[in-house]
Amino acid sequence: MGDMSNCPADAPDPQLLLLGPVELKHARGTAPSRAAKQCLEYCGWILRYPGQTATTMMRSLLVAEGTRRSNMSRLRLWLGINDQGVPYLPEAYTGRIKLHSSVTSDWDRLHMLLPGGVKRASERSLTEALKLVRGAPLADAAPGQWHWAEEWRHEMTTLIRDMGVALCDMAASRGDIDLARWATSRALLAAPEDDKLMTARIRTEHLAGNHLEVERLALHITRIARSVGRDLPDEMVSLLQEALEYTDTPAALA
């Protein structure tokens, strides 16, 4: 079940990282030599849908039962056992598949930092939550994998976007331009080119009096909009018109 001889008694429990490239931290066993990415996907699926049956899992992941069993065995060995000798992925003798309750994810951690949601979160909580973001959710998912997680991925991306906008607004309202910039930059890792984040970013640079950056962002946004044949949101258009009135080249919107 993995070599526990070098694990200190207070070693952290396994954590699946989803907010960026998918990784498994603090596993007690040995990473498999094959099908490691499939094992990560299985771990994510079980975290998302605890207590499901093998049949449901097989159908959702579009795999044969033999493949599922083999990868579950690999994942079980990879996760290993806890300090009490209990497997982090127990055998499903009841027919229901669950991970040990101490196996978590960075998505779980993010929600722990925001128990009341984004609107009730403090600046400190939003900052700590955004530090968990390393890139787009499930950033390195291979083609054909994690197809079942599109709704989950959208949920993650939307929440990160809302966190970035909220923290940017908080920081900008008290004149902390550096934190406002950091908030949008971090959230844009997960939601590149998002309209609300780009609007917050432009508003921050306008507040900072950084007219050259406002122009650069305006040009970037309008070029993208034209390339995909869409109109900019009304809020962004109004902000750009206001911000570019203070520049020497209002034609940037043309």
3-state SS track over 127-186: HHHHCCCCCCCCCCCCCCCCHHHHHHHHHHHHHHHHHHHHHHHHHHHCCCHHHHHHHHHH
User: What is residue 13's DSSP assignment?
Assistant: P
- What is the structure's pLDDT at 171? 97
Q: Enter the pTM of the model.
A: 0.86
The phi and psi torsions of 162 (rounded to 5 degrees) equal -65, -35
Pairing assessment for the beta strands 23-25 and 104-105 based on DSSP bridges:
unpaired
d(CA 89, CA 81): 8
Q: Are residues 173 and 246 in the same domain?
A: yes
> Is the CB of residue 183 less than 8 Å from the CB of residue 171?
yes
Q: Are residues 180 and 152 in the same domain?
A: yes
d(CA 189, CA 193): 9
Looking at residue 238, which CATH number applies to its domain? 1.25.40
- What is the structure's pLDDT at 248? 53
> Is the CB of residue 6 less than 8 Å from the CB of residue 25?
no
Q: Are residues 80 and 123 in the same domain?
A: no
Q: Reduced to 3 states, what is the DSSP secondary structure of residue 81?
A: strand
Q: Is residue 141 part of a domain?
A: no
- What is the structure's pLDDT at 250? 43
Helices and strands, number each (H, E), in the chain: 10, 3
Collect the ranges in the chain with pLDDT lower than 70: 1-9, 246-254
Q: Are residues 183 and 79 in the same domain?
A: no
CA atoms within 13 A on the CB side of 216: 6
- What is the structure's pLDDT at 119? 94
Q: Are residues 196 and 153 in the same domain?
A: yes
Q: Is residue 245 part of a domain?
A: yes
H-type alpha helices, 6-134: 36-48, 54-61, 65-79, 106-113, 123-130
Give the range of the structural domain holding residue 91, as residue numbers without chain letter: 6-106
**How many domains is the chain built from?**
2
Pairing assessment for the beta strands 104-105 and 15-17 based on DSSP bridges:
parallel
Q: Are residues 165 and 208 in the same domain?
A: yes
* Residue 126 neighbours by CB under 8 Å, 6+ apart: 114, 118, 163, 166, 167, 170, 183
- What is the structure's pLDDT at 243? 75
Q: Is residue 142 part of a domain?
A: no
Q: Could you identify the residue written with the tokens 């959230």?
A: 187
d(CA 129, CA 160): 9
- For the stretch 224-248, pLDDT in tens is 888 877 887 888 788 778 777 755 5
Q: Are residues 60 and 173 in the same domain?
A: no
- What is the structure's pLDDT at 253? 43
Q: How many CB atoms lie under 10 A from the CB of residue 105?
A: 22
